[in-house]
A = this chain, B = another copy of it.
């Protein structure tokens, strides 16, 4: 029996990956699933019954008509998760929100409220916004550049954590006899003055049983990894292949020590789209079938353009050399865009070739029989490619088959829990409750005085 246990989040519908453009056609998915709160509640209950750590909601604030169905029409993550909260008891509720296009005070309140409503199960997945067009919904012609976005992200997390500590845990004495509701010495204004934000505080909200919502992060650039090393307690990482995942894992965890942090202070979940069948061959056939269902060139062209700020590549000759879009590559998801541009130049590829290559079939590592998938997960987990998975399940049936066929194998091997350890997200993820920064100070000064 191993001490360390696998962590599991469930990402529903807005899942990305092969075939996600055609997912709306699946008869098991209601046509309005992306805005149907009952559908999300049902998925959350499935996840909770299977002892998942959390429901994970990704997000975007920009669309055009070429976007996949579940992007076009979607619920704002915090509103969604708050509705789910009262229908669950153990499941963590992780919402994605942009640190680029939100005010820290606003985010602190909303995640803090979700944390109170769920009694300590909230998590914030900090992103700097992949979709560059978001800027034009928030008053800016151009998406902020990497340095500014990640500078804001770090400062936003610091401010928000400061706001979350506004009240020490014993601030509300509620002493009727002495007519004292609040001990005013336990309310603290942050008075933050930084490069990006000025926020005085205090926040008008107290801490939940888990102290503060859990900070997740998703972003693979050098800047993203730096942010993760400094403040993330969870990461949603791409899980493309074992070798690169191992490298990423060691890289990011290696950054913790510089901030006085330990490997256990950060849980890395890799995105995994499982395809499970009776045999490996059958599963691989099914996976290819899913990929083929979404094999329309125009859609691939539009999806390709999203990596370049929803750029419309159809204006270029498909069979001419790949156009010069270097100026577009530095905004949304630089790592991938720059690799594509470089390869196109070196190999002298046409636009059509680049698109076809980018969209070509790359089977997910998590395809096979339940036994094979369980073996793969064990390998990734013990091989330190991941602390857990963010399961990007396509349909409710996919959640069931993972839960009923793969999880029991992992439980038998002692790799996955057989009951919840806690009623908070931190408790289940094995993360410690952060002490209130002001309470710590008080203890210290008490010691000095003693």
How close is A296's CB to chain B, nearest CB, in angstroms? 8
Q: Verify A206–B35 contact, CB threshold 8 A.
A: yes
Interface of A is mostly: mixed
A246 at the interface (CB under 8 A from B): no
A442 at the interface (CB under 8 A from B): no
Complex CA distance for A27 and B209, rounded to whole angstroms: 24
Residues of B within 8 A of A74 (CB): 204-205
Residues of B within 8 A of A25 (CB): 176, 179
Residues of B within 8 A of A64 (CB): 187, 202
Complex CA distance for A201 and B137, rounded to whole angstroms: 6
Among A41, A63, A101: residue with most chain B CB under 10 A: A63
Which residue of the partner chain B has the closest CB to A167?
A: B73
Among A60, A65, A102, A202: residue with most chain B CB under 10 A: A65
Which residue of the partner chain B has the closest CB to A35?
A: B116
Residues of B within 8 A of A80 (CB): 82, 113, 117
Complex CA distance for A184 and B299, rounded to whole angstroms: 14
On whether A117 and B86 interact (CB within 8 A), knowing A63-B202, A74-B205, the answer reads: no
Interfacial residues of chain A within 212-266, with CB under 8 A of chain B in the complex: none
Among A73, A110, A138: residue with most chain B CB under 10 A: A73
Among A35, A79, A117, A197: residue with most chain B CB under 10 A: A79
How close is A162's CB to chain B, nearest CB, in angstroms? 12
How close is A123's CB to chain B, nearest CB, in angstroms? 14
A182 at the interface (CB under 8 A from B): yes
On whether A136 and B102 interact (CB within 8 A), knowing A79-B117, A110-B79, A205-B73, the answer reads: no
Residues of B within 8 A of A60 (CB): 204
Among A61, A74, A83, A204: residue with most chain B CB under 10 A: A204
Please name 25 pairs of A and B residues whose Cβ atoms are closer than 8 Å in the assembled complex, sorted by A. Answer: A32-B172, A37-B86, A37-B116, A60-B204, A64-B187, A65-B187, A72-B172, A72-B182, A73-B167, A74-B205, A75-B113, A75-B116, A76-B109, A76-B112, A78-B110, A79-B114, A82-B83, A83-B85, A83-B117, A101-B106, A102-B106, A103-B103, A103-B138, A105-B137, A136-B200
Instruction: State the 10 A-B residue pairs at the shortest beta-carbon distance, nearest first.
Output: A65-B184, A79-B113, A136-B200, A31-B174, A76-B113, A82-B82, A76-B109, A105-B137, A79-B82, A75-B113
Q: 16 more A-B contacts (CB under 8 A) besides A63-B204, A73-B204, A79-B117?
A: A24-B181, A25-B176, A35-B206, A37-B85, A62-B204, A65-B184, A69-B181, A72-B172, A72-B181, A75-B116, A78-B110, A83-B83, A83-B85, A101-B105, A136-B200, A137-B201
